[in-house]
Amino acid sequence: MDRGIVPPMSFSAQFIAVFVPLFIITDPFGNIGIFLTLTHGDEPAFRRRQALMGNIYAAILLLVFLFGGPYILSFLGVSISAVNLGGGLIVGAIGWALVRSQENRKTEGKATHEEAINEHDISFCPLALPLIAGPGALVVVIAAGRHILESGDSMRWVAGGLGVVAAMVVSWACLASASMVARCLGRNGMVALTKIIGFLLVCIAAQMVITGAQDAFGWHAGTTASTTHAVAN
């Protein structure tokens, strides 16, 4: 089950390894426009409560998948390599959609708005799921949890959990102040920031695929260099 190939990681490094990908893939700045559409006409206090509850629900979902997902994968016999390869494809598709255009975001915003027209409380659906804790975010925490499970280091579970909570706090702060952030960045700023985030997602996905391929097929740089040197001699 790929045991023994998981490198050691410090508490702070594990926190960063969970927080940074989650912050990027949950795209709190990109969700601002959709959130404002969903809460159009609502009182500021109600909007802030929706932002708070939505991120609380999303944090619970992500923590459940962080701690429980790896055991399900272990039961099914799914390795770290498979999680990295499959997760990399999903994350890459999300990132490419963000880089390519804003049309997907506009369509998604209209669809979720129509879904929420008759719903007074949108904090769980569609805000927490699927806007914040979407497929990409779930893949990130499952992959992180699988790595932690294979490492056998209990403190990394704590660091991973704190990384999830920190990412959701940042997401809540962005949504709670959505109107102000939208005014400060402007439409062009929001578009540019979303594309940058999409590019970073594609890079993260590429690294996940590379790592998964290396672990699955043994394509390590040191092995390749040694083979090349031996052939040259």
What is the C-alpha to C-alpha distance for residues 226 and 231, in angstroms, rounded to an integer? Answer: 9
Contact assessment for residue 14 and residue 162, using Cβ atoms and an 8 Å cutoff: no
Cα dihedral 35, 102, 143, 61, rounded to 10, equals 20
Identify whether 52 is part of a domain. Answer: yes
Q: Is the pLDDT of residue 67 over 80?
A: yes
- Residue 78: pLDDT band by 50, 70, 90 thresholds? confident
Identify whether 5 is part of a domain. Answer: no
| Mean pLDDT on 14-34 | 89
More confident residue, 97 or 50: 50
Identify whether 149 is part of a domain. Answer: yes
Q: How many domains does the chain have?
A: 1
Q: Is the pLDDT of residue 2 over 70?
A: no
List the domain range (segments joined by +) for residue 80.
11-232
Cβ-based neighbours of 30, under 8 Å, separated by 6 or more: 98, 105, 190, 193, 194, 197
Identify whether 79 is part of a domain. Answer: yes
- Residue 215: pLDDT band by 50, 70, 90 thresholds? confident
Identify whether 1 is part of a domain. Answer: no
Identify whether 18 is part of a domain. Answer: yes
